[in-house]
């Protein structure tokens, strides 16, 4: 299903910038998204395109609301509002026993990395105080050219997990064709690496995420699932993902809204990945960098609060 706001015709030009693509499931689910209209049109229309499935489906929509402001009010009340509401999943403190890994980087010395992690890649990735989502410390990753990377890695990653991280890019020196994997799981059952947070620039800045199973040397993708979203540049973005071996599905949420539901076939290992890479790799001949903060893996969904 896609959702958009168009002008009243005859061209029906979109006023919402992009069509929001949602993945309809067999359970009731809440979807929301924020846009800035490109122009004022008193006769604009909201469009729900339900003709996206290969096979006929019966879809029910309920509690549809349009609100002025930065978010939807809780409880689905009608009318215009500018109040704020929380994301779908509650946030967890690092002391929660559900956590597998939890790093806010606050207790890590500048230029060091958290204990239990190792550095890989051509560029040193370490903790800095030059930008943070929480507190004063974050992880700064950078790259130096084509196929260059800067990662920290942790071993022993359960195949069944939820992940959450915030990222914020520095001013980009390459504005086109950027493709930046930031969280990589090793390995899929076919031996390839699984890029679960893979940021792309599909002509709209770094505003797309891809699930990608790929050769370690980037010599060819075997499967992808892609979503685009409207995100403010140079702003912290919250990405969550789920790796679920039982259903062989991968999900990703961007700023609290689910954007990808992908059936991997049999690519998710039954028990564990050998390691996780956190940082960035790029495939352009430019230097790029990003801050990463509030990274966590958990046995339950973490949320963006
Ligand atoms: Ca922090």
pLDDT at residue 77 greater than cutoff 50: no
Q: What is the mean pLDDT of residues 45-55?
A: 71
118 Cα–ligand 1 center, Å: 19
168 Cα–ligand 1 center, Å: 12
Q: For position 115, which CATH number holds?
A: 2.60.120.200
107 Cα–ligand 1 center, Å: 9
Instruction: Single out the residue of 246, 290, 303 nearest to residue 269, CA to CA.
Output: 246
133 Cα–ligand 1 center, Å: 6
| 232 and 151 part of one domain | yes
Q: What is the mean pLDDT of residues 270-284?
A: 94
Using CA atoms, how far apart are residues 258 and 251, in angstroms rounded to an integer? 7
Give 82 or 102, the one with higher predicted confidence: 102
| 127 and 244 part of one domain | yes
User: Mean of the per-residue pLDDT values for the chain?
Assistant: 81
240 Cα–ligand 1 center, Å: 17
pLDDT tens-digit map of 225-238: 778 776 666 789 99
pLDDT band at 3 (very low <50, low <70, confident <90, very high): confident
| 40 and 138 part of one domain | no
Least confident of 52-61, 133-142, 249-258: 52-61
Query: pTM for the full model?
Result: 0.69
- Does residue 199 sit within a domain? yes
- Does residue 90 sit within a domain? no
pLDDT band at 82 (very low <50, low <70, confident <90, very high): very low
Q: How far is CA 216 from the centre of its chain?
A: 21
| 81 and 115 part of one domain | no
226 Cα–ligand 1 center, Å: 29
pLDDT tens-digit map of 104-135: 999 999 999 999 999 998 778 999 999 999 99
| 66 and 113 part of one domain | no
1 Cα–ligand 1 center, Å: 37
- Within 8 A by CB and 6+ apart from 27, the residues are none
- Does residue 80 sit within a domain? yes
DSSP secondary structure letter of residue 72? P
Q: What is the mean pLDDT of residues 17-27?
A: 64
| 53 and 122 part of one domain | no
Give residue 79's region: left, alpha or beta (phi > 0; psi -120 to 50).
Answer: left
Least confident of 14-18, 51-55, 152-156, 210-214: 51-55
167 Cα–ligand 1 center, Å: 11
131 Cα–ligand 1 center, Å: 9
123 Cα–ligand 1 center, Å: 21
pLDDT at residue 279 greater than cutoff 90: yes
Asked which of 36, 52, 85 is the last residue of a domain, the reply is 85
Contact (CB, 8 A) for 37 and 5: yes
| 79 and 105 part of one domain | no
What is the domain range of residue 210? 99-298
pLDDT value of position 79 = 39
pLDDT value of position 12 = 75
DSSP H or E stretch at residue 224? strand 221-228
Query: Side-chain half-sphere of 146: how many Cα atoms within 13 Å?
Result: 5
Q: For a pLDDT cut of 70, what percent of the chain falls above it?
A: 75
DSSP secondary structure letter of residue 171? P
- Does residue 91 sit within a domain? no
| 37 and 179 part of one domain | no
pLDDT value of position 90 = 46
pLDDT value of position 176 = 62
| 133 and 163 part of one domain | yes
pLDDT at residue 6 greater than cutoff 60: yes
Asked which of 61, 85, 109 is the last residue of a domain, the reply is 85
pLDDT tens-digit map of 136-173: 999 999 988 888 889 999 999 999 999 999 999 877 77
pLDDT value of position 132 = 95
pLDDT at residue 54 greater than cutoff 70: no
Q: How many domains does the chain have?
A: 2
The single residue listed with the structure tokens 């006023």 is 15
137 Cα–ligand 1 center, Å: 4
């Amino acid at each position: 299903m896609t959702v958009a706001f168009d002008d009243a015709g005859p061209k029906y030009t979109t006023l919402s910038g992009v069509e929001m693509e949602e993945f309809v499931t067999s359970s009731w689910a809440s979807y929301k998204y924020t846009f800035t209209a490109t122009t004022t049109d008193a006769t604009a229309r909201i469009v729900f395109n339900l003709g996206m499935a290969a096979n006929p489906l019966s879809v029910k929509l309920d509690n549809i609301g349009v609100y002025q402001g930065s978010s939807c009010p809780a409880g689905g009340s009608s009318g215009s509002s500018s109040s704020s509401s929380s994301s779908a999943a509650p946030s967890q403190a690092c002391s929660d026993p559900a956590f597998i890994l939890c790093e806010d980087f606050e207790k890590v010395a500048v230029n060091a990395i958290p204990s239990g992690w190792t550095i890989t890649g051509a560029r040193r990735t370490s903790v800095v105080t030059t930008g943070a989502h929480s507190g004063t410390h974050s992880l700064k990753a950078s790259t130096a050219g084509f196929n260059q990377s800067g990662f920290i890695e942790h071993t022993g990653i359960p195949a069944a997990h939820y992940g959450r991280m915030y990222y914020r890019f520095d001013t980009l020196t390459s504005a086109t064709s950027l493709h930046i994997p930031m969280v990589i799981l090793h390995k899929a059952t076919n031996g390839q690496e699984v890029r679960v947070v893979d940021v792309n620039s599909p002509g709209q800045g770094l505003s797309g995420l891809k699930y990608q199973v790929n050769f370690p040397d980037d010599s060819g993708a075997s499967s992808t699932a892609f979503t685009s979203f409207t995100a403010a540049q140079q702003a912290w973005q919250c990405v969550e993902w789920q790796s679920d071996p039982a259903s062989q599905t991968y999900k990703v949420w961007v700023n609290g809204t689910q954007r990808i539901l992908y059936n991997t076939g049999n690519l998710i290992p039954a028990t564990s990945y050998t390691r996780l890479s956190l940082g960035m790799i790029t495939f352009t001949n430019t230097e790029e960098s990003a801050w990463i903060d509030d990274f966590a893996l958990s046995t339950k969904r973490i949320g963006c609060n």
